[in-house]
């Protein structure tokens, strides 16, 4: 297998958690490479639901080493809480969870600054997860962030932390925010950092050693291509590169060692937060795609619980994503949700100023004026169950899947039709 990358092709929540878990069966190491506690990756095993935020989804496979890579931003308080919670459910993971010594810390003032920035934007807010992601990456780019290697020395770290906290309180004051109480904040952070200190490691050297030995490594993308700070719907994006290239920069793995890039595509489209969404459906269709919250897979945020905006599949977005990421294996998810519709629509082009095209525009303003051009497909009108290969699907479902592969010029390696590991049909020729 070598090195594999798994990436979301839309606005996140494509079902990455499920597929990391599937691919982790044959992986020795799973690496998170970007983002932080803004991610929410769900794995369902025998009806038991695990929602992972900072811990790589490979943690649920015995013996898999999980790395929180150098490109991530890690909130010690959030990670300590998540670690305690997962250990209470699956037992000790000591030695299986490593935090890159080059990763940055997300600290309480980053969360507070995130909230303040959103408030200031008012009606034009991004709709962030309020996990402090943007402010932490801002500090990284400003070269003023704290990195995990500094936490190895408790006293030196405490001194750096206090200086940063005072500086942050000054900034919060200027911006009209409340300052953080110094002693309480320090005590809370230090308690979490003390718990996590044994997990700090030189993960770049460790990964290079595994690459040299030909080990199976899975890079677990977070968010999705349309939330990438360069390629997404800027400024309505997250603050990191969430594409395949970001997985390399965020782990230290060299490009030449990558075997496959697995692109995950939900059979319809969702997004949480603000920003353009050309195929967003009208209220009634969106509500049917979303579900009422009764099922665990209904479209409500795994991290924030917010209802997700929903619409038809957008292949302009997907083709842009397969190209930016160099997708070699495509996985379609949540096809089962479409079983309820007698007729389905897929967007294959945008109409803008009278012209029809399928390039994805950089300008958010232009994107807002794009009108989707749809192809229509008959539904299959029956639930999907027990399908082992793509040949087992009803003809209308096969037709829907075939059109996607043809348009994207990438073979579909598997189609997921439920949250469990077994609810997946594979390409019979693979």
Angle of helix 133-142 versus helix 108-121 axis, rounded to 10: 110
Q: Is there binding between residue 38 and Mg ion (CB under 5 A)? A: no
Q: Is there binding between residue 372 and ligand GDP (CB under 6 A)? A: no
Q: Is there binding between residue 21 and Mg ion (CB under 5 A)? A: no
Enter the DSSP assignment of 420: B
Which residues make Cβ contacts (< 8 Å) with residue 142, sequence separation at least 6?
Answer: none
Rg over alpha carbons for the chain, rounded to the nearest Å, is 21
Enter the DSSP assignment of 378: E
Q: Is there binding between residue 136 and ligand GDP (CB under 6 A)? A: no
Residue owning tokens 């070598």: 2
Q: Which does 273 bind (CB under 5 to 8 A by kind): Mg ion, ligand IMO, ligand GDP, none?
A: ligand IMO
Q: Is there binding between residue 40 and ligand GDP (CB under 6 A)? A: yes
Q: Which does 314 bind (CB under 5 to 8 A by kind): ligand GDP, ligand IMO, Mg ion, none?
A: none
| Residue 41: both structure tokens together | 């990756």
Which residue number, 302 or 416, has a Cβ lying nearer to Mg ion?
302
Catalytic residue among 21, 41, 114, 314: 41
Q: Among residue numbers 328 through 347, which ones bind ligand GDP (CB under 6 A)?
A: 333-334, 336-337
Cis amide bond preceding 158, omega within 30: no
For residues 230-267, one letter each, b for 16 or more C-beta atoms within 10 angstroms of the residue's C-beta and e for the rest, the string is ebbbeebbbbbbbbbbbbbbbbbbeeebbebbbbbbbb
Q: Is there binding between residue 418 and ligand GDP (CB under 6 A)? A: yes
Which residue number, 13 or 336, has a Cβ lying nearer to Mg ion?
13
Q: Which does 82 bind (CB under 5 to 8 A by kind): ligand IMO, Mg ion, ligand GDP, none?
A: none
CB 371 within 8 A of CB 342: no
Q: Is there binding between residue 309 and ligand GDP (CB under 6 A)? A: no
Q: Among residue numbers 8 through 27, which ones bind ligand GDP (CB under 6 A)?
A: 8, 12-18
Q: How far is the CB of 26 from ligand GDP (least distance, A)?
A: 19
Q: Which does 253 bind (CB under 5 to 8 A by kind): ligand GDP, Mg ion, ligand IMO, none?
A: none
Q: Is 81 helix (H, G, I), strand (E, B) or coil?
A: helix
- Looking at 66-74, 94-102, 312-320, 410-418, which segment touches ligand GDP (CB under 6 A)? 410-418
Say how many residues touch ligand GDP, by CB under 6 A: 23
CB 56 within 8 A of CB 88: no
Which residue number, 104 or 131, has a Cβ lying nearer to ligand IMO?
131
Q: Which does 244 bind (CB under 5 to 8 A by kind): ligand IMO, Mg ion, ligand GDP, none?
A: none
Could you give the string, one character per residue 319-358, with x where binding to Mg ion holds by CB under 5 A and - elsewhere?
----------------------------------------
Q: Which does 44 bind (CB under 5 to 8 A by kind): ligand IMO, ligand GDP, Mg ion, none?
A: ligand GDP
Q: What residue ranges bind ligand IMO (CB under 6 A)?
A: 8, 11-13, 38-41, 126-129, 131, 133-134, 222-224, 227, 238-239, 272-273, 302
Q: Which helix (H) or strand (E) holds 168?
A: helix 154-174
CA distance to 3, 237, 243, 289, 314, per residue, from 226 (Å) = 23, 7, 9, 20, 12
Give just the sign of the alpha carbon dihedral 274, 277, 282, 283: negative
For residues 291-326, one letter each, b for 16 or more C-beta atoms within 10 angstroms of the residue's C-beta and e for the rest, the string is beeeeebebbbbbbeebbbbbbbbbbbbbbbbebbb
| Residue 230: both structure tokens together | 């360069």
Per CB under 5 A, the list member of 8, 9, 13, 414 interacting with Mg ion is 13
Q: Is 41 a catalytic residue?
A: yes
Q: Is there binding between residue 44 and ligand GDP (CB under 6 A)? A: yes
Per CB under 5 A, the list member of 8, 35, 40, 135 interacting with Mg ion is 40
Q: How far is the CB of 15 from ligand GDP (least distance, A)?
A: 3
197 forms beta bridges with none
Q: How far is the CB of 193 from ligand GDP (least distance, A)?
A: 27
Q: Is 13 a catalytic residue?
A: yes
Q: How far is the CB of 99 from Mg ion (least distance, A)?
A: 21
| Residue 292: both structure tokens together | 């009422």
Q: Which helix (H) or strand (E) holds 345?
A: strand 343-352
Q: Is there binding between residue 42 and ligand GDP (CB under 6 A)? A: yes
Burial tier of 93 (Cβ tally within 10 Å: 0-12, 13-18, 19+) = middle
Distance CA(249)–CA(232), nearest Å, equals 18
Tell me which residues touch ligand GDP (CB under 6 A): 8, 12-18, 40-42, 44, 296-297, 302, 333-334, 336-337, 416-419
Tell me which residues touch Mg ion (CB under 5 A): 13, 40, 302
Catalytic residue list: 13, 41
């Amino acid at each position: 297998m070598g090195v594999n990358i798994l990436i979301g092709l839309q606005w996140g929540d494509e079902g990455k958690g499920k597929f990391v878990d599937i691919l982790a069966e044959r992986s020795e190491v799973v690496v998170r490479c970007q983002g932080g506690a803004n991610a929410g990756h769900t794995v369902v095993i025998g009806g038991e639901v695990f929602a992972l935020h900072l811990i790589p989804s490979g943690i649920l496979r015995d013996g898999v080493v999980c790395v929180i890579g150098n490109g991530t931003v890690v909130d010690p308080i959030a990670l300590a809480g998540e670690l305690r919670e997962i250990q209470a459910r699956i037992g000790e993971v000591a030695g299986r969870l490593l935090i890159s010594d080059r990763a940055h810390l997300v600290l309480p003032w980053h969360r507070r600054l995130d909230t303040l920035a959103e408030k200031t934007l008012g009606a034009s807010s991004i709709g962030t997860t309020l996990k402090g992601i943007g402010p932490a990456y801002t500090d990284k780019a400003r070269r003023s962030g704290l990195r995990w290697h500094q936490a190895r020395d408790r006293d030196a770290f405490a001194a750096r932390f206090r200086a940063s906290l005072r500086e942050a309180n000054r900034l919060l004051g200027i911006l009209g925010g409340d300052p953080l109480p110094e002693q309480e904040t320090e005590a809370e952070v230090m308690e979490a950092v003390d718990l996590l200190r044994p997990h700090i490691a030189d993960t770049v050297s460790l990964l290079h050693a595994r690459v040299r030995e030909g080990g199976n490594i899975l890079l677990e993308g977070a968010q999705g291509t349309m939330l990438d700070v360069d390629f997404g719907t800027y400024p309505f994006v997250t603050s990191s590169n969430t594409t395949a290239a970001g997985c390399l920069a965020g782990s230290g793995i060299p490009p030449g060692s990558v075997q496959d890039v697995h692109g995950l595509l939900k059979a319809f489209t969702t997004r949480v937060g603000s920003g353009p969404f050309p195929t967003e459906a009208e209220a009634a269709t969106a509500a049917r795609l979303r579900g009422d919250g009764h099922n665990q897979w209904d479209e409500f945020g795994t991290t924030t619980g917010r209802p997700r905006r929903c619409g038809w599949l957008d292949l302009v977005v997907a083709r842009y994503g397969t190209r930016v990421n160099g997708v070699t294996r495509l996985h379609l998810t949540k096809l089962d949700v479409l079983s309820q519709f007698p007729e389905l629509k897929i967007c294959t082009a945008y109409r803008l100023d009278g012209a029809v095209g399928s390039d994805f525009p950089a300008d958010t303003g232009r994107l807002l004026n794009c009108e989707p051009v749809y192809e229509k497909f008959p539904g299959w009108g029956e639930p999907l169950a027990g399908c082992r290969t793509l040949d087992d699907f009803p003809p209308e479902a096969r037709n829907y899947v075939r059109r996607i592969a043809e348009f994207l010029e990438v073979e579909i390696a598997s189609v997921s039709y439920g949250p469990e590991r077994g609810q997946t049909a594979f390409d019979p020729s693979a």
